[in-house]
Each structure stands twice: as structure tokens, then as C-alpha cells.
Amino acid sequence: MLLVIDVGNTNITLGIFQDEELVANFRMTTKMPRTSDEYGIMICGLLNSRKVNVAEIESVIIASVVPGIMHSLKNSIIKYLNLTPFVIGAGTRTGIKISTANPKEIGADRVVDAVAAYDIYGGPLIVIDFGTATTYDLITEEGLFLAGVTSPGIRISADALWNETAKLPEVEIRKPASILAKETVSSMQAGLVYGYIGQTEYIVRKMIEESGIQGMKVIATGGLGKIIAEATDVIQIFDPYLTLKGLRLIYNKCKSK
């Protein structure tokens, strides 16, 4: 079995693959500082909760955008799973060529998403990850990472709305029945969700327009992305496990080489 770990700014997502099948997935918060023992106990406990024997884990691969926790996390894998994890970084063979001004600035999660979307759905495509930040990445038919857009995630926008105003309450992020809101909660929900739908549609169409690439597929993943994907026709596929699938694909590419 393969354990894949995606370390994001808000959550750490873990997946267990038996060959090509994702048999279990888990999530824990990132922002709480933990020791290697705490990580190890939590990971083993999550595996046991799904009746996955720790001894059956043969390999571990990690993609991280949070360097500060990596020492503890890597040591937890070594100590509790008796395995040395493979960590995706500069120079990792992925099959995606990055043509941006500074390829090393592209986060590991974006590369992993690009690999998964390109390998599974084919190019040309735009990959949208609705995470802590929302990213829009354009991959050509030849597998070239051509350009990317980064914007504040919907939850960051929501936090700013109720933390920076004196009277607006914290609300559930969901799409209201109508944009014609008649009270505070639904008016905030309308602004957040419909505003984000508008952002998504404009950025996707502008990227297609300026690139001049026709026949573009749009694949989305991450967090609250399902709310947006269900409300717009610019997104063709919402794949909640895209990043986990990408980690497995990259592991297999590196293993074969």
C-alpha cells in the first residue's frame, strides 16, 4: 500500500492507495504545531480506524507547501512507519514542464494537481484548486505548465469579511437560493459565493482568451470547490481527490525511473 500526504496551509490530507484504488482518506489540521510523536500517533490512529495495518504501508510520498512542519512530519514517518518518505521538490520528475519565469516558485501542490489532471483528463486544460488560496493553472496539450493565477481563497475572503467588520456575523459558506438577498446572512453568502462564481468564470475565460488555446478543459478540486463547480458551466469536472491521485502518479513515475 502507498500512503500519500498533501500538506496544505489549512489541512493535511492523507490517502491510502491499494494499487490504483484510493481505499481510504483522512484530514487533519495543519496550523496546530505537533511533535513527531504526535504526528505518528495520529497517523497510526487514523490508519487503524479504517482497519489499515501500519505494516502494510510500503511507501510514503509527501507534497508540502508548509516547510515549518516537515521536520516533525518526516521524522514521524521514519519513527512510526519505519519508512523514509519521498518528498516532492525541485528536480522531481513529474512529466510536466514548467515554463514560468521561476519554476521553483511553483508550489508542489500545483505541480501535483497539474500532473493528475493532465495524465487523467489530457490537455489542454486549466486546473483550479479551491484551497486556502485559489489557483488557476494552464497546461498545454504538450504538457507545458504555461501560466498560473493566484487569488485569495473563498474562506480567506469570508474571514476578512466578518473579522474586519464590527457587525457582520460569521456565516456558513453556501450558495443562497437567490442573489436577491433580503437579510444579512444570505446577503453575505450571496456576496461570497456569487462573487466567487463571477471571479472563476472571468479568470477562466480571460486565460482562454489571452492564451488563444481552444478546446480547453477545466478541472477543479479542493475544499469548497464543489459549491462553485456546481454553479457554473465553465468547470467541466470536479475531482475532490485530484491531488491524492497526482501524488500516486508521481510516485509511480519516480519509482519506474
Contact partners, residue 172, CB within 8 Å, separation at least 6: 189
Residue 109 is among the residues annotated as catalytic for this protein: yes
**Given the C-alpha cell 516537515, which residue does it identify?**
70
Q: What whole-number distance in Å separates Cα of residue 147 and Cα of residue 99? A: 8
Q: How does 154-169 read in b/e, with b if 16+ C-beta sit within 10 Å?
A: bbbbbeebeeeeeeee
**How many CA atoms, within 13 angstroms, populate the side-chain half-sphere of residue 141?**
6
The backbone torsions φ and ψ at residue 129, rounded to the nearest 5 degrees and listed phi first, read -115, 110
| Cell numbers linked to 216 | 480547453
116: exposed, middle or buried (C-beta count within 10 Å: 0-12, 13-18, 19+)? buried
- The answer to whether 222 touches 130, Cβ cutoff 8 Å, is yes
The active-site residue, picked from 6, 37, 109, 129, is 109
Residue 187 to residue 139: CA distance in whole angstroms: 36
- The residues that are catalytic are 109
